[in-house]
Structure 1
Amino acid sequence: MPPRRRLNTFDAFTKTVEDARVRTTSGGVVTIVATVVIVLLIVSEWSDYRRIVNRPELIVDKTRGERMNINLNITFPEIPCEILTLDVMDVSGEQQTEITHGIIKTRLNDDGSVISTELLALHSSGDNAHHLDESYCGPCYGAVPKEEEGKRCCNTCDDVRNAYQEVGWAFGDGHGVEQCERENYPEKIKEMAHEGCNIAGTLSVNKVVGNFHFAPGKSYSSPNMHLHDLNIYETSAVRHTFTHNIHHLSFGPHHHTVRNPLDRTVKKTDERHFNYMYFIKVVSTRFERIGAAPLETNQYSVTSHERAIRGGRDDDHPNTMHARGGIPGVFFSYDISPMKVINREERSKSFGSFLIGVCAVVGGVLAVASVIDRGVWEADKALSRKKAV
């Protein structure tokens, strides 16, 4: 037997003679319907293949020694920028006091409108001491260590304030201080009494347990304590409060799926001695997108606590309220979770699964259509025979 005829014996797709085929109207209708169904199902298979699914995974966070950005935008409508201080501290011992780098303080009128940028600086260029006599050495009013007495000069109001801070003394509004009165510092403080303040920007912190807070007055450290000079806040004729509006607070880069629970939070109080605490749990999160670089960011959950604190000054620390119930302000304590969430984007099926699905659709629909067509044809023949009888 020739090789070609041998191959014929393996043909699973035997052919019928063209003259033996019968074409019917019902068969044409079934074929059109089957074709439409096949096209629709293939389109559905293609859509399923193109569909992206997010597969979350929880792992142990093994990263160490990283830094984290805290993005914030908070308005304090009832306390001026000159009084408000932002500090950061963490368990590693790092302290960032009176932060200005990466942070913008915007002075606000009592109606919430922004004061022009020309008025943002408390000290104008004319306040500098360069016009003084070269031999001038301003007093520091005793606010210097003993070894520096008679050697250190305080020629500007800021010099005196810094000297007071170093020895832990309350400074106040500068009344009675020659340098401050020369620079009209007390008058400017009085003019600002009815202003508000917006603080916006980014903090760079160690990715460890820590806190950042907004409190009144310059901050300084004494043994085992973090203190604030509350003199101006306490003695001001205007009743300042820590009413605040958190426009935005996030940890790390933005991702459209991450929800920040503290965004658009508004807290109001009529009490001067009031303390707000936000306890934040930060969870590291990585987003892995198809065709894009991974994004490392953080999500967080939060609980809050607020309370009125007892006023008055402590006898041991007359410049502060720290020892008697705490200090007024807004405090954010953050803790870092040991777990990490990975959100990985994947296609719902592989290309091979898509091809298998297409083959199954074509074969299945044609098989069902063949059965339907055969049934219709047999029924038509039976009816024709019955009519002939």
Structure 2
Amino acid sequence: MAPRRRLTTFDAFSKTVEDARVRTTSGGIVTIVSTVVIIFLVISEWRDYRMISNRPELIVDKTRGERMNINLNVTFPTIPCDMLTLDVMDVSGEQQTEITHGIMKTRLSPEGTIISTESLDLHAAGAAPHHLDDNYCGPCYGAIPKEEEGTKCCNTCDDVRDAYQAVGWAFGDGKGVEQCEREHYPERVEAVKHEGCNIAGHFSVNKVVGNFHFAPGRSYTSPSVHVHDLNQYTTSDVVHTFSHQIHHLSFGPYHDGIVNPLDNTVKKTDERNFNYMYFVKVVSTRFERIGQAPVDTNQYSVTSHERPIRGGRDEDHKNTMHARGGIPGVFFSYDISPMKVINHEERPKSFGSFLIGVCAAVGGVLAVATVVDRGVWEADKALSRKKTI
């Protein structure tokens, strides 16, 4: 028993005899208040432990040779789909004209209701050509050099349009061209001239400085410039404009932590020759969330500029229509930032810190409660003694 008696000398938690303990009303109140405070502090510690903070880090983007998806959904209420062209070009020299892959065009009535939707992947293939005699060789209406006459045929309306495009001539609505009239191209142009168009989808670009734009008419590249055949757009008896609504525009995969500043942008104009420019700065962004795979995407900032286009057009009907001050349309010029933002998710407190906080809260409240209860008890005894004197 001697060892046990020696250990009792180290007991820091000495016990009181039950008969010597006095329970008071003030002690009960202090106990209840202390319990409530302890519960509140423990819950606060738990919330702090479970709280996730985001720690951004800025580094130099050292990736090379990457490609980037551009996701878009844009509505043009006063331009038919047949008249709109989406082109992409960048400083590396890559050009994607009349993009079709991954793009859906939706024809809209003047009231904005959907008429039909088609994938341009399928539309690009075109319908089967009209049945023609095996020996038929359609004329190209002077759009080929004389030395090639008889060796090159234009059997469809698209063949004639391509031939005109190759020599830089405006094409128009196809009236007077037997291939187009046979395929009812002029009637289609007339039927859709009051329609609008929604373009939605995605396409891939090099992650370098470049631009993509919506402009009227078929596009092609001359030896020095990128041009569009604006004949049908500028000569139509219906005033088409580039009023538009950008429902969505983003660069890279979707992430709920990204805010796209151009979403739900609406621009209106009554002028046919009007140009909208959006200058976009794209910043690579990586999200590292606790318990999830990292997500690499992009965020961007934007400034915009809009202006009417002043100038005329070539009087020679064989030349592609163009405005001397530029072409009407909606242009997005994007630049790639050399910096990359990494957003780390982390918990500020470890589980050990949580336990320490809980112990400190419980111990601190009990210590204060003991002092308060003792003070109230002593004050009550002092008042009782005064009353008995």
Indicate conservation of the 8 Å contact 1:157/1:179, yes or no.
yes
**Structure 1: 4+ residue segments shifted above 6 A:** 120-123
Q: After superposition, where does 1:294-333 map in structure 2 within 5 Å?
A: 294-314=294-314, 318-321=319-322, 324-333=324-333
In structure 1, the residue matched to 2:369 is: 369
The percentage of aligned residue pairs carrying the same residue is: 78
Query: Are 1:87 and 1:98, in contact at CA under 8 Å, matched by a contact in 2?
Result: yes
Unmatched 5+ stretches in structure 1? none
Q: CA deviation at 1:146?
A: 6.7
Alignment of 1:145-184 (within 5 A): 148-184=148-184
Distance in 1 (CA, whole Å) between partners of 2:153 and 2:179 is 11
Q: Matched residue of 2:204: which SS?
A: strand
Give the C-alpha shift of residue 50 in structure 1.
1.4
- The alignment of Structure 1 onto Structure 2 pairs a total of residues equal to 386
Q: How big is the alpha-carbon RMSD for the aligned residues of Structure 1 and Structure 2?
A: 2.5
Contact 1:273 1:311 in 2 (8 A): no
The CA deviation at 1:284 is 1.5
Normalised to the residue count of structure 2, the TM-score between the two structures is 0.92
1:78 corresponds to which residue? 78
- Counterpart in 2 of 1:343? 343
Deviations 1:80-124 (A, max 9, x none): 111111101111111110011111111112221221459x9999x
Deviates more, 1:136-145 or 1:362-371: 136-145
Q: Could you say which residue in structure 2 is the equivalent of 1:99?
A: 99
Q: Which amino acid aligns with 1:381?
A: K
- Matched with 1:276 is 276
Alignment correspondent of 2:111:
111
Query: Equivalent residue for 1:261?
Result: 261
Deviates more, 1:183-192 or 1:15-24: 15-24
TM-score, normalization by structure 1? 0.92
Distance in 2 (CA, whole Å) between partners of 1:219 and 1:41 is 68
| Residue matched to 1:387 | 387
| Greater Cα shift, 23-32 or 335-344 | 23-32
- After superposition, residues 20-35 of structure 1 pair within 5 angstroms as 20-35=20-35
Q: Does the aligned pair in 1 maintain the 2:85–2:215 contact within 8 Å?
A: yes
Cα contact 2:54–2:346 (8 A) shared by 1: yes
Q: Structure 2: 5+ residue runs without aligned partners?
A: none
Q: Report how far residue 19 of structure 1 moved.
A: 4.0
CA contact (8 A) 1:128 1:156 kept: no
Q: Could you tell me how far 1:148 is from its partner in structure 2?
A: 4.7
1:220-272 residue CA offsets vs partner (Å, 9 max, x unmatched): 00112101111111221222111111121121222233222212212111211
Cα deviation code 1:166-210 (max 9, x no counterpart): 232222111222211111111211222211111111121111111
Change (3 A) 1:367 1:376: same
Quote the offset at 1:20 in angstroms: 3.6
Counterpart AA for 2:157 = C
CA separation of 1:140 and 1:300: change in aligned 2, threshold 3 A: same
